[in-house]
A and B are shown apart, each in its own frame.
Chain A
Amino acid sequence: MIQRALGSDHLAGWLFVLPAVVLIGVFGILPIGWALLLSFQHNDLLTAPTWVGVDNYRTLVHDPVFRDSIRRTLVYTALFVPLSVGGAMGVALLLHRPIRFSRFYRTAVFVPVATSTVATGIIFNWLLEPTYGIVNFLLDKVGLGPYGFFQDPDQALYAIVAMTVWGWLGFDVIIYLAALQGIPEDLMEAAQLDGAGRWATFRHVVWPLLSPATLFLIVWSTINALQVFDEIYVTTRGGPLRATTVLVYYLYNQAFELFHAGYAAAAAEVLFLITLVFSVVQLWLGSRRVHYSS
Protein backbone atom coordinates (compact mmCIF):
# COMPACT_ATOMS: atom_id res chain seq x y z
CA MET A 1 0.00 0.00 0.00
CA ILE A 2 2.72 2.44 1.04
CA GLN A 3 4.86 1.23 -1.85
CA ARG A 4 2.07 1.95 -4.32
CA ALA A 5 1.38 5.38 -2.87
CA LEU A 6 5.02 6.32 -3.14
CA GLY A 7 5.27 4.84 -6.62
CA SER A 8 2.40 6.96 -7.87
CA ASP A 9 4.06 10.04 -6.34
CA HIS A 10 7.18 9.40 -8.40
CA LEU A 11 5.22 9.14 -11.58
CA ALA A 12 2.87 12.04 -10.82
CA GLY A 13 5.78 14.19 -9.67
CA TRP A 14 7.73 13.70 -12.86
CA LEU A 15 4.69 14.11 -15.07
CA PHE A 16 3.90 17.40 -13.33
CA VAL A 17 7.38 18.84 -13.73
CA LEU A 18 8.14 17.31 -17.14
CA PRO A 19 6.99 20.24 -19.35
CA ALA A 20 8.88 22.71 -17.19
CA VAL A 21 12.01 20.56 -17.09
CA VAL A 22 12.03 20.06 -20.86
CA LEU A 23 11.42 23.74 -21.68
CA ILE A 24 13.84 25.14 -19.11
CA GLY A 25 16.32 22.43 -20.06
CA VAL A 26 16.23 23.47 -23.72
CA PHE A 27 15.96 27.25 -23.30
CA GLY A 28 17.61 27.74 -19.90
CA ILE A 29 20.19 25.09 -19.08
CA LEU A 30 21.43 24.06 -22.52
CA PRO A 31 22.30 27.67 -23.53
CA ILE A 32 24.45 28.09 -20.41
CA GLY A 33 26.77 25.27 -21.44
CA TRP A 34 26.59 26.20 -25.08
CA ALA A 35 27.52 29.82 -24.33
CA LEU A 36 30.72 28.63 -22.71
CA LEU A 37 31.46 26.31 -25.63
CA LEU A 38 30.80 29.12 -28.11
CA SER A 39 33.32 31.35 -26.41
CA PHE A 40 36.03 28.91 -27.53
CA GLN A 41 34.79 28.84 -31.11
CA HIS A 42 34.76 30.94 -34.21
CA ASN A 43 31.09 31.19 -35.13
CA ASP A 44 29.27 33.47 -37.59
CA LEU A 45 25.75 32.14 -36.77
CA LEU A 46 25.52 30.50 -40.21
CA THR A 47 28.41 28.26 -41.24
CA ALA A 48 29.91 25.43 -39.17
CA PRO A 49 31.84 26.68 -36.13
CA THR A 50 35.55 26.04 -35.67
CA TRP A 51 37.44 25.53 -32.42
CA VAL A 52 39.87 28.37 -31.64
CA GLY A 53 40.77 27.68 -27.99
CA VAL A 54 41.25 30.77 -25.87
CA ASP A 55 41.83 33.06 -28.87
CA ASN A 56 38.59 34.98 -28.27
CA TYR A 57 39.56 35.74 -24.70
CA ARG A 58 43.08 36.71 -25.73
CA THR A 59 41.69 39.15 -28.31
CA LEU A 60 39.25 40.54 -25.75
CA VAL A 61 41.99 41.41 -23.30
CA HIS A 62 43.70 43.53 -25.97
CA ASP A 63 40.54 45.04 -27.41
CA PRO A 64 40.38 48.71 -26.36
CA VAL A 65 36.75 49.04 -27.46
CA PHE A 66 35.80 46.16 -25.19
CA ARG A 67 37.70 47.61 -22.25
CA ASP A 68 36.08 51.00 -22.81
CA SER A 69 32.67 49.35 -22.93
CA ILE A 70 33.32 47.80 -19.51
CA ARG A 71 34.47 51.14 -18.12
CA ARG A 72 31.33 52.86 -19.43
CA THR A 73 29.13 50.10 -18.02
CA LEU A 74 30.72 50.59 -14.60
CA VAL A 75 30.36 54.38 -14.77
CA TYR A 76 26.73 53.99 -15.76
CA THR A 77 26.11 51.50 -12.92
CA ALA A 78 27.90 53.69 -10.36
CA LEU A 79 25.56 56.57 -11.24
CA PHE A 80 22.33 54.71 -11.90
CA VAL A 81 22.21 52.56 -8.75
CA PRO A 82 22.65 55.26 -6.06
CA LEU A 83 20.50 57.78 -7.93
CA SER A 84 17.58 55.43 -8.50
CA VAL A 85 17.68 53.58 -5.16
CA GLY A 86 18.50 56.65 -3.04
CA GLY A 87 16.01 58.80 -4.92
CA ALA A 88 13.32 56.15 -4.53
CA MET A 89 13.86 55.95 -0.79
CA GLY A 90 13.38 59.70 -0.48
CA VAL A 91 10.28 59.68 -2.66
CA ALA A 92 8.81 56.71 -0.78
CA LEU A 93 9.31 58.47 2.56
CA LEU A 94 7.45 61.50 1.17
CA LEU A 95 4.63 59.37 -0.21
CA HIS A 96 4.25 56.90 2.66
CA ARG A 97 1.77 58.81 4.81
CA PRO A 98 -1.36 59.87 2.97
CA ILE A 99 -1.71 63.58 2.24
CA ARG A 100 -3.92 65.45 -0.21
CA PHE A 101 -3.38 64.31 -3.80
CA SER A 102 -1.46 61.22 -2.58
CA ARG A 103 -3.07 59.07 -5.22
CA PHE A 104 -2.20 61.52 -7.95
CA TYR A 105 1.43 61.74 -6.80
CA ARG A 106 1.71 57.96 -6.63
CA THR A 107 0.26 57.49 -10.09
CA ALA A 108 2.67 60.10 -11.47
CA VAL A 109 5.63 58.27 -9.98
CA PHE A 110 4.42 54.78 -10.97
CA VAL A 111 3.37 55.44 -14.56
CA PRO A 112 6.88 55.16 -16.07
CA VAL A 113 7.00 51.58 -14.72
CA ALA A 114 4.40 50.58 -17.30
CA THR A 115 6.10 52.63 -20.03
CA SER A 116 8.22 50.33 -22.15
CA THR A 117 11.93 50.96 -22.54
CA VAL A 118 11.47 51.50 -26.28
CA ALA A 119 8.74 54.11 -25.83
CA THR A 120 10.83 55.78 -23.13
CA GLY A 121 13.76 56.03 -25.52
CA ILE A 122 11.70 57.54 -28.33
CA ILE A 123 10.08 60.08 -26.01
CA PHE A 124 13.45 61.16 -24.63
CA ASN A 125 14.87 61.47 -28.14
CA TRP A 126 12.25 64.12 -28.66
CA LEU A 127 12.50 65.79 -25.22
CA LEU A 128 16.28 66.05 -25.53
CA GLU A 129 16.37 67.00 -29.22
CA PRO A 130 19.05 69.74 -29.28
CA THR A 131 17.29 72.30 -31.52
CA TYR A 132 13.55 71.90 -31.00
CA GLY A 133 13.46 69.83 -27.81
CA ILE A 134 11.52 71.12 -24.82
CA VAL A 135 14.28 70.43 -22.30
CA ASN A 136 16.71 72.82 -23.96
CA PHE A 137 13.87 75.34 -24.18
CA LEU A 138 13.17 75.04 -20.43
CA LEU A 139 16.87 75.17 -19.54
CA ASP A 140 17.22 78.24 -21.74
CA LYS A 141 14.56 79.94 -19.60
CA VAL A 142 16.84 79.62 -16.58
CA GLY A 143 19.90 80.64 -18.55
CA LEU A 144 21.42 77.22 -19.22
CA GLY A 145 22.41 75.39 -22.36
CA PRO A 146 21.78 74.63 -25.09
CA TYR A 147 23.07 71.10 -24.66
CA GLY A 148 23.63 68.37 -27.23
CA PHE A 149 22.54 65.56 -24.85
CA PHE A 150 22.45 62.33 -26.86
CA GLN A 151 24.43 63.97 -29.65
CA ASP A 152 27.29 65.13 -27.45
CA PRO A 153 29.86 62.42 -26.63
CA ASP A 154 30.56 64.07 -23.28
CA GLN A 155 26.90 64.14 -22.24
CA ALA A 156 25.26 61.12 -23.87
CA LEU A 157 25.97 58.62 -21.08
CA TYR A 158 24.65 61.03 -18.43
CA ALA A 159 21.53 61.64 -20.50
CA ILE A 160 21.05 57.86 -20.57
CA VAL A 161 21.40 57.78 -16.78
CA ALA A 162 18.75 60.50 -16.37
CA MET A 163 16.37 58.74 -18.76
CA THR A 164 16.70 55.32 -17.15
CA VAL A 165 16.34 56.72 -13.63
CA TRP A 166 13.06 58.25 -14.80
CA GLY A 167 11.99 54.87 -16.11
CA TRP A 168 12.98 52.76 -13.09
CA LEU A 169 12.33 55.05 -10.13
CA GLY A 170 8.70 53.98 -9.79
CA PHE A 171 9.54 50.30 -9.37
CA ASP A 172 11.97 51.07 -6.55
CA VAL A 173 9.41 53.35 -4.91
CA ILE A 174 6.86 50.51 -5.03
CA ILE A 175 9.28 48.20 -3.23
CA TYR A 176 10.10 50.83 -0.60
CA LEU A 177 6.44 51.70 -0.01
CA ALA A 178 5.68 48.03 0.58
CA ALA A 179 8.58 47.84 3.02
CA LEU A 180 7.44 51.01 4.83
CA GLN A 181 3.97 49.50 5.10
CA GLY A 182 5.55 46.61 6.97
CA ILE A 183 6.98 48.81 9.72
CA PRO A 184 4.68 48.47 12.74
CA GLU A 185 3.16 51.78 13.82
CA ASP A 186 3.86 51.12 17.52
CA LEU A 187 7.61 51.00 16.82
CA MET A 188 7.45 54.54 15.48
CA GLU A 189 5.31 55.66 18.42
CA ALA A 190 7.67 54.03 20.90
CA ALA A 191 10.61 55.88 19.35
CA GLN A 192 8.76 59.17 19.52
CA LEU A 193 7.70 58.54 23.12
CA ASP A 194 11.35 57.94 23.96
CA GLY A 195 12.01 61.44 22.68
CA ALA A 196 13.55 60.53 19.33
CA GLY A 197 13.29 63.34 16.81
CA ARG A 198 12.49 62.86 13.16
CA TRP A 199 16.07 62.25 12.14
CA ALA A 200 16.75 59.86 15.03
CA THR A 201 13.57 57.92 14.28
CA PHE A 202 14.61 57.61 10.67
CA ARG A 203 18.22 56.71 11.44
CA HIS A 204 17.53 54.16 14.18
CA VAL A 205 14.10 52.74 13.29
CA VAL A 206 13.18 53.30 9.66
CA TRP A 207 16.60 52.93 8.02
CA PRO A 208 17.43 49.54 9.61
CA LEU A 209 13.94 48.20 8.93
CA LEU A 210 14.23 49.26 5.28
CA SER A 211 17.62 47.61 4.88
CA PRO A 212 16.34 44.30 3.40
CA ALA A 213 14.50 46.30 0.71
CA THR A 214 17.57 48.45 0.16
CA LEU A 215 19.80 45.41 -0.28
CA PHE A 216 17.35 43.81 -2.68
CA LEU A 217 17.10 47.01 -4.73
CA ILE A 218 20.86 47.56 -4.84
CA VAL A 219 21.48 44.01 -6.06
CA TRP A 220 18.56 44.11 -8.51
CA SER A 221 19.41 47.58 -9.88
CA THR A 222 23.07 46.68 -10.27
CA ILE A 223 22.19 43.58 -12.30
CA ASN A 224 19.88 45.66 -14.48
CA ALA A 225 22.42 48.46 -14.87
CA LEU A 226 25.16 46.07 -15.94
CA GLN A 227 22.77 44.81 -18.63
CA VAL A 228 21.41 48.12 -19.89
CA PHE A 229 20.65 47.90 -23.61
CA ASP A 230 17.13 48.76 -24.84
CA GLU A 231 17.22 52.47 -24.05
CA ILE A 232 20.64 52.83 -25.67
CA TYR A 233 19.63 50.93 -28.79
CA VAL A 234 16.64 53.23 -29.28
CA THR A 235 18.46 56.51 -28.57
CA THR A 236 22.18 56.62 -29.32
CA ARG A 237 22.95 53.21 -30.84
CA GLY A 238 26.09 53.18 -28.75
CA GLY A 239 27.25 56.55 -30.08
CA PRO A 240 28.20 59.27 -30.57
CA LEU A 241 31.82 58.15 -30.99
CA ARG A 242 30.98 55.01 -28.98
CA ALA A 243 30.28 57.19 -25.92
CA THR A 244 27.38 54.93 -24.91
CA THR A 245 28.70 51.59 -26.13
CA VAL A 246 28.16 49.63 -22.92
CA LEU A 247 28.94 45.95 -22.51
CA VAL A 248 25.66 44.46 -23.71
CA TYR A 249 25.48 46.88 -26.62
CA TYR A 250 28.99 45.83 -27.59
CA LEU A 251 28.18 42.14 -27.45
CA TYR A 252 24.90 42.59 -29.33
CA ASN A 253 26.78 44.51 -32.02
CA GLN A 254 29.51 41.86 -32.24
CA ALA A 255 27.10 38.90 -32.34
CA PHE A 256 24.14 40.06 -34.39
CA GLU A 257 25.46 42.90 -36.54
CA LEU A 258 29.05 41.80 -37.21
CA PHE A 259 28.36 38.04 -36.76
CA HIS A 260 31.34 37.47 -34.47
CA ALA A 261 29.22 35.18 -32.30
CA GLY A 262 32.09 33.27 -30.72
CA TYR A 263 33.88 36.46 -29.79
CA ALA A 264 30.67 37.95 -28.43
CA ALA A 265 30.12 34.78 -26.38
CA ALA A 266 33.48 35.35 -24.70
CA ALA A 267 32.43 38.94 -23.93
CA ALA A 268 29.18 37.50 -22.53
CA GLU A 269 31.13 35.26 -20.15
CA VAL A 270 32.90 38.38 -18.88
CA LEU A 271 29.49 39.99 -18.34
CA PHE A 272 28.39 36.91 -16.40
CA LEU A 273 31.51 37.05 -14.24
CA ILE A 274 31.09 40.77 -13.50
CA THR A 275 27.41 40.28 -12.62
CA LEU A 276 28.22 37.33 -10.38
CA VAL A 277 31.03 39.13 -8.56
CA PHE A 278 28.90 42.22 -7.96
CA SER A 279 25.95 40.19 -6.65
CA VAL A 280 28.03 37.98 -4.38
CA VAL A 281 29.99 40.90 -2.91
CA GLN A 282 26.86 42.98 -2.38
CA LEU A 283 24.98 40.12 -0.76
CA TRP A 284 27.98 39.27 1.40
CA LEU A 285 28.46 42.86 2.57
CA GLY A 286 24.71 43.20 2.94
CA SER A 287 24.27 40.08 5.04
CA ARG A 288 26.46 41.68 7.71
CA ARG A 289 24.55 44.94 7.78
CA VAL A 290 21.00 44.15 6.88
CA HIS A 291 18.54 43.96 9.73
CA TYR A 292 15.93 41.28 9.24
CA SER A 293 13.04 41.54 11.63
CA SER A 294 11.73 38.10 12.40
Chain B
Amino acid sequence: MRTWPFSPRHVVLIPLSALMLLPLVWMLVTSIETLAESRHFPPTLVPSGIHWQNYPDALAAAPFGRFFTNSLIVTLASVAGNLLLCSLAGYAFARLRFFGRDVTFIALLATLMVPFQVTMIPTFLIVQHLGLVNTLGALIAPNLVTPFGIFLLRQFFRTLPVELEEAARIDGCSRLGVLFRVVLPLSMPALATLAIVTFLWTWNDFLWPLIAISSTDKMTVQLGLASFQGAHQTNWTLLMAGNVMALAPMLLVFVVAQRWFVQSLASTGVKG
Protein backbone atom coordinates (compact mmCIF):
# COMPACT_ATOMS: atom_id res chain seq x y z
CA MET B 1 0.00 0.00 0.00
CA ARG B 2 2.69 2.44 0.99
CA THR B 3 3.97 4.26 -2.05
CA TRP B 4 5.78 7.11 -0.30
CA PRO B 5 9.34 7.36 -1.52
CA PHE B 6 10.30 8.19 2.05
CA SER B 7 8.73 8.16 5.48
CA PRO B 8 6.24 11.03 5.95
CA ARG B 9 7.96 11.66 9.27
CA HIS B 10 10.69 13.50 7.37
CA VAL B 11 8.12 16.14 6.44
CA VAL B 12 7.95 17.12 10.10
CA LEU B 13 11.49 16.27 11.17
CA ILE B 14 13.30 18.31 8.51
CA PRO B 15 11.68 21.67 9.37
CA LEU B 16 11.93 20.80 13.07
CA SER B 17 15.66 20.16 12.83
CA ALA B 18 16.04 23.39 10.89
CA LEU B 19 14.19 25.23 13.64
CA MET B 20 16.37 23.69 16.36
CA LEU B 21 19.63 24.33 14.51
CA LEU B 22 18.85 27.77 13.07
CA PRO B 23 19.77 29.72 16.24
CA LEU B 24 23.17 28.01 16.49
CA VAL B 25 23.88 28.22 12.75
CA TRP B 26 22.94 31.88 12.67
CA MET B 27 25.26 32.49 15.64
CA LEU B 28 28.12 30.89 13.68
CA VAL B 29 27.36 32.85 10.50
CA THR B 30 27.14 36.17 12.33
CA SER B 31 30.39 35.47 14.14
CA ILE B 32 32.29 35.58 10.83
CA GLU B 33 30.51 38.59 9.33
CA THR B 34 31.75 42.15 9.36
CA LEU B 35 29.94 44.59 11.60
CA ALA B 36 28.52 46.34 8.52
CA GLU B 37 27.14 43.06 7.17
CA SER B 38 25.41 42.35 10.47
CA ARG B 39 23.85 45.80 10.48
CA HIS B 40 22.12 45.40 7.17
CA PHE B 41 18.56 44.66 6.21
CA PRO B 42 17.77 42.26 4.66
CA PRO B 43 20.30 40.23 6.70
CA THR B 44 23.47 39.04 4.97
CA LEU B 45 22.78 35.31 4.76
CA VAL B 46 26.09 34.44 3.13
CA PRO B 47 28.92 36.69 4.29
CA SER B 48 31.31 38.09 1.66
CA GLY B 49 34.22 36.26 3.26
CA ILE B 50 35.25 34.67 6.52
CA HIS B 51 35.94 37.53 8.87
CA TRP B 52 37.94 35.76 11.60
CA GLN B 53 38.93 39.04 13.19
CA ASN B 54 35.83 38.97 15.46
CA TYR B 55 37.41 36.15 17.47
CA PRO B 56 40.67 37.86 18.45
CA ASP B 57 38.60 41.02 18.99
CA ALA B 58 36.31 39.19 21.41
CA LEU B 59 39.30 37.67 23.19
CA ALA B 60 40.80 41.13 23.56
CA ALA B 61 37.51 42.59 24.81
CA ALA B 62 36.98 40.13 27.66
CA PRO B 63 39.26 37.64 29.46
CA PHE B 64 37.62 34.47 28.14
CA GLY B 65 40.69 32.44 29.07
CA ARG B 66 40.24 33.46 32.71
CA PHE B 67 36.52 32.65 32.54
CA PHE B 68 37.33 29.18 31.23
CA THR B 69 39.94 28.52 33.88
CA ASN B 70 37.51 29.59 36.59
CA SER B 71 34.68 27.46 35.22
CA LEU B 72 37.01 24.52 34.86
CA ILE B 73 38.27 24.81 38.45
CA VAL B 74 34.76 25.12 39.86
CA THR B 75 33.34 22.34 37.71
CA LEU B 76 36.15 19.85 38.29
CA ALA B 77 36.14 20.51 42.03
CA SER B 78 32.37 20.00 42.15
CA VAL B 79 32.52 16.79 40.12
CA ALA B 80 35.39 15.40 42.22
CA GLY B 81 33.69 16.42 45.47
CA ASN B 82 30.42 14.82 44.47
CA LEU B 83 32.02 11.59 43.31
CA LEU B 84 33.96 11.17 46.55
CA LEU B 85 31.56 12.51 49.17
CA CYS B 86 28.36 11.12 47.61
CA SER B 87 30.05 7.71 47.31
CA LEU B 88 31.01 7.73 50.98
CA ALA B 89 27.62 8.92 52.20
CA GLY B 90 25.63 6.88 49.68
CA TYR B 91 27.48 3.72 50.69
CA ALA B 92 26.94 4.33 54.40
CA PHE B 93 23.24 4.95 53.84
CA ALA B 94 22.96 1.86 51.65
CA ARG B 95 24.92 -0.68 53.67
CA LEU B 96 26.06 0.42 57.12
CA ARG B 97 23.82 0.28 60.17
CA PHE B 98 24.44 3.26 62.40
CA PHE B 99 22.53 5.31 64.91
CA GLY B 100 20.24 7.90 63.32
CA ARG B 101 20.86 6.68 59.78
CA ASP B 102 17.32 6.87 58.43
CA VAL B 103 16.48 10.18 60.06
CA THR B 104 19.69 11.72 58.72
CA PHE B 105 19.04 10.37 55.25
CA ILE B 106 15.51 11.77 55.16
CA ALA B 107 16.69 15.15 56.52
CA LEU B 108 19.30 15.43 53.76
CA LEU B 109 16.84 14.36 51.11
CA ALA B 110 14.16 16.76 52.34
CA THR B 111 16.34 19.72 51.33
CA LEU B 112 15.60 18.74 47.71
CA MET B 113 12.04 19.95 48.24
CA VAL B 114 13.12 23.53 48.75
CA PRO B 115 14.21 25.26 45.52
CA PHE B 116 17.53 27.09 45.55
CA GLN B 117 15.76 30.34 44.68
CA VAL B 118 14.02 30.16 48.06
CA THR B 119 17.23 29.78 50.05
CA MET B 120 19.64 31.82 47.93
CA ILE B 121 19.50 34.90 50.17
CA PRO B 122 20.53 33.12 53.40
CA THR B 123 23.02 31.06 51.39
CA PHE B 124 24.60 34.35 50.33
CA LEU B 125 24.67 35.50 53.96
CA ILE B 126 26.32 32.22 55.04
CA VAL B 127 28.95 32.54 52.33
CA GLN B 128 29.45 36.14 53.44
CA HIS B 129 30.02 35.00 57.06
CA LEU B 130 32.54 32.44 55.82
CA GLY B 131 34.38 35.22 54.00
CA LEU B 132 33.92 33.51 50.66
CA VAL B 133 32.00 36.20 48.74
CA ASN B 134 33.67 36.94 45.42
CA THR B 135 35.95 33.88 45.58
CA LEU B 136 35.76 30.63 43.61
CA GLY B 137 35.27 28.96 47.00
CA ALA B 138 31.79 30.46 47.12
CA LEU B 139 30.96 28.57 43.94
CA ILE B 140 32.61 25.32 45.03
CA ALA B 141 31.71 24.85 48.70
CA PRO B 142 27.89 24.65 48.34
CA ASN B 143 28.24 22.27 45.37
CA LEU B 144 30.76 19.77 46.76
CA VAL B 145 28.06 17.30 47.71
CA THR B 146 24.41 17.09 46.68
CA PRO B 147 21.47 15.16 48.19
CA PHE B 148 20.61 14.15 44.63
CA GLY B 149 24.01 12.48 44.22
CA ILE B 150 23.77 10.69 47.55
CA PHE B 151 20.33 9.41 46.65
CA LEU B 152 21.40 8.31 43.17
CA LEU B 153 24.40 6.35 44.43
CA ARG B 154 22.61 4.86 47.44
CA GLN B 155 19.91 3.48 45.14
CA PHE B 156 22.56 2.03 42.84
CA PHE B 157 24.67 0.51 45.63
CA ARG B 158 21.61 -1.30 46.97
CA THR B 159 21.22 -3.17 43.68
CA LEU B 160 24.71 -4.70 43.98
CA PRO B 161 25.02 -8.25 45.40
CA VAL B 162 25.98 -7.87 49.06
CA GLU B 163 27.80 -11.23 49.06
CA LEU B 164 30.80 -9.72 47.28
CA GLU B 165 31.20 -7.12 50.00
CA GLU B 166 30.80 -9.73 52.74
CA ALA B 167 33.45 -11.90 51.14
CA ALA B 168 35.84 -8.97 51.01
CA ARG B 169 35.12 -8.17 54.67
CA ILE B 170 35.85 -11.77 55.70
CA ASP B 171 39.12 -11.55 53.77
CA GLY B 172 40.03 -8.69 56.09
CA CYS B 173 39.22 -5.73 53.92
CA SER B 174 38.25 -2.53 55.74
CA ARG B 175 34.94 -0.75 55.11
CA LEU B 176 36.75 1.87 53.09
CA GLY B 177 38.60 -0.84 51.20
CA VAL B 178 35.33 -2.57 50.35
CA LEU B 179 33.92 0.68 49.00
CA PHE B 180 36.93 1.59 46.88
CA ARG B 181 38.02 -1.88 45.71
CA VAL B 182 34.73 -3.74 45.37
CA VAL B 183 31.75 -1.39 45.22
CA LEU B 184 32.99 1.59 43.20
CA PRO B 185 34.54 -0.46 40.36
CA LEU B 186 31.11 -2.07 39.92
CA SER B 187 29.35 1.31 39.98
CA MET B 188 30.87 3.00 36.96
CA PRO B 189 27.52 3.65 35.20
CA ALA B 190 26.09 5.44 38.25
CA LEU B 191 29.32 7.36 38.85
CA ALA B 192 29.43 8.43 35.21
CA THR B 193 25.84 9.65 35.43
CA LEU B 194 26.61 11.66 38.55
CA ALA B 195 29.76 13.12 36.98
CA ILE B 196 28.00 14.13 33.75
CA VAL B 197 24.97 15.66 35.43
CA THR B 198 27.14 17.56 37.92
CA PHE B 199 29.37 18.75 35.09
CA LEU B 200 26.48 20.00 32.96
CA TRP B 201 24.74 21.65 35.90
CA THR B 202 27.81 23.37 37.35
CA TRP B 203 29.21 24.52 34.00
CA ASN B 204 25.91 26.11 32.97
CA ASP B 205 24.88 27.51 36.37
CA PHE B 206 24.24 31.23 36.29
CA LEU B 207 22.14 32.54 39.16
CA TRP B 208 24.47 31.59 42.01
CA PRO B 209 27.65 32.96 40.35
CA LEU B 210 25.68 36.11 39.53
CA ILE B 211 24.99 36.61 43.22
CA ALA B 212 28.27 35.41 44.69
CA ILE B 213 30.82 36.89 42.26
CA SER B 214 31.37 40.54 41.46
CA SER B 215 34.85 40.99 39.99
CA THR B 216 35.68 40.07 36.41
CA ASP B 217 38.70 37.90 37.23
CA LYS B 218 36.55 35.53 39.32
CA MET B 219 33.78 35.12 36.77
CA THR B 220 32.75 31.81 35.26
CA VAL B 221 32.05 31.43 31.54
CA GLN B 222 28.30 32.03 31.94
CA LEU B 223 28.70 35.08 34.13
CA GLY B 224 31.49 36.44 31.95
CA LEU B 225 29.34 35.98 28.86
CA ALA B 226 26.46 37.90 30.42
CA SER B 227 28.71 40.78 31.45
CA PHE B 228 30.37 40.70 28.01
CA GLN B 229 26.92 41.21 26.50
CA GLY B 230 26.27 44.09 28.86
CA ALA B 231 29.43 45.82 27.69
CA HIS B 232 28.90 45.32 23.93
CA GLN B 233 25.14 45.66 23.60
CA THR B 234 24.67 45.87 19.81
CA ASN B 235 28.01 44.68 18.52
CA TRP B 236 26.46 41.42 17.34
CA THR B 237 29.46 40.05 15.46
CA LEU B 238 31.63 40.42 18.54
CA LEU B 239 28.93 38.98 20.82
CA MET B 240 28.37 35.96 18.58
CA ALA B 241 32.12 35.27 18.34
CA GLY B 242 32.29 35.34 22.14
CA ASN B 243 29.24 33.12 22.34
CA VAL B 244 30.73 30.58 19.94
CA MET B 245 33.90 30.39 22.02
CA ALA B 246 31.93 30.00 25.24
CA LEU B 247 29.68 27.30 23.79
CA ALA B 248 32.06 25.36 21.56
CA PRO B 249 33.76 23.14 24.19
CA MET B 250 30.50 22.02 25.80
CA LEU B 251 28.78 21.45 22.46
CA LEU B 252 31.74 19.46 21.13
CA VAL B 253 31.87 17.27 24.23
CA PHE B 254 28.11 16.83 24.03
CA VAL B 255 28.01 15.83 20.37
CA VAL B 256 30.98 13.47 20.70
CA ALA B 257 29.71 11.84 23.90
CA GLN B 258 26.03 12.24 23.06
CA ARG B 259 25.16 8.66 24.00
CA TRP B 260 26.61 9.10 27.48
CA PHE B 261 24.91 12.42 28.06
CA VAL B 262 21.57 11.11 26.88
CA GLN B 263 21.77 7.95 28.99
CA SER B 264 22.75 9.94 32.07
CA LEU B 265 19.96 12.47 31.70
CA ALA B 266 17.45 9.72 30.97
CA SER B 267 18.45 7.67 34.00
CA THR B 268 18.16 10.63 36.36
CA GLY B 269 14.68 11.28 35.04
CA VAL B 270 12.63 8.18 34.58
CA LYS B 271 14.09 6.02 37.29
CA GLY B 272 14.41 8.77 39.87
B-binding residues in A (CB < 8 A): 6, 8-14, 16-17, 19-21, 23-24, 26-32, 34-35, 38, 45, 91, 94-95, 99-101, 104-120, 122-127, 129, 131-134, 137, 166, 169-171, 174-175, 177-179, 182, 212-213, 216-217, 220, 223, 226-227, 229-230, 233-234, 248, 251-252, 255-256, 261, 264-265, 268-269, 271-272, 275-276
Contacts and interface: CB of A to CB of B under 8 A. Distances in A.
B269 A20 contact: no
A99 B27 contact: no
Interface residues of B, number: 94
B151 to A, nearest CB: 11
Contacts of A226: 115
A268 B117 contact: yes
Nearest to B175: A12
B122 to A, nearest CB: 4
Interface in B143-192: 144-147, 150, 175
B122 A114 contact: no
Interface string B179-211: 000000000000000000000100110110011
B113 A109 contact: no
A129 B27 CA distance: 13
B1 interface: no
A230 B13 contact: no
B190 to A, nearest CB: 16
7 closest A-B pairs by beta carbon, nearest first, are A13-B98, A178-B266, A34-B122, A16-B92, A114-B254, A31-B119, A20-B89
A111 B20 CA distance: 8
> Quick one: which of A30, A122, A125 has the most chain B CB within 10 A?
A122
Given A116-B206, A171-B265, A126 B118 contact: no
Nearest to A22: B145
A12 to B, nearest CB: 5
B123 A31 contact: yes
Given A13-B96, A122-B226, 19 more contacts: A12-B96, A13-B92, A19-B144, A24-B147, A28-B147, A29-B107, A32-B118, A107-B258, A114-B261, A116-B247, A119-B225, A166-B20, A169-B20, A256-B211, A264-B121, A265-B122, A268-B119, A271-B117, A272-B115
Interface of B: 6-7, 9-10, 12-13, 16-17, 19-24, 26-27, 30, 38-43, 85-86, 88-89, 91-93, 96-99, 101, 104, 107-108, 111, 113-115, 117-126, 128, 141-142, 144-147, 150, 175, 200, 203-204, 206-207, 210-211, 221-223, 225-226, 229, 236, 239-240, 243, 246-247, 250-251, 253-255, 258, 261-262, 265-267, 269-270, 272
A114 B250 contact: yes
A200 B89 CA distance: 47
A275 B20 contact: no
Contacts of B85: 19-20, 23
A119 B122 contact: no
A123 B24 contact: yes
B30 A126 contact: yes
B179 to A, nearest CB: 8
Nearest to A34: B122
A26 B108 CA distance: 11
Nearest to B13: A105
B93 A17 contact: yes
A127 B27 CA distance: 9
Contacts of B40: 132
A202 to B, nearest CB: 15
B108 to A, nearest CB: 5
Contacts of A26: 126
A91 to B, nearest CB: 7
Contacts of B206: 116-118, 230, 233
Contacts of A125: 229
Contacts of A35: 118-119, 121-122
Given A24-B108, A116-B250, A216-B269, A19 B88 contact: yes
A213 B265 CA distance: 13
Contact of A104 (B17, B98, B114): B17
Contacts of A104: 17
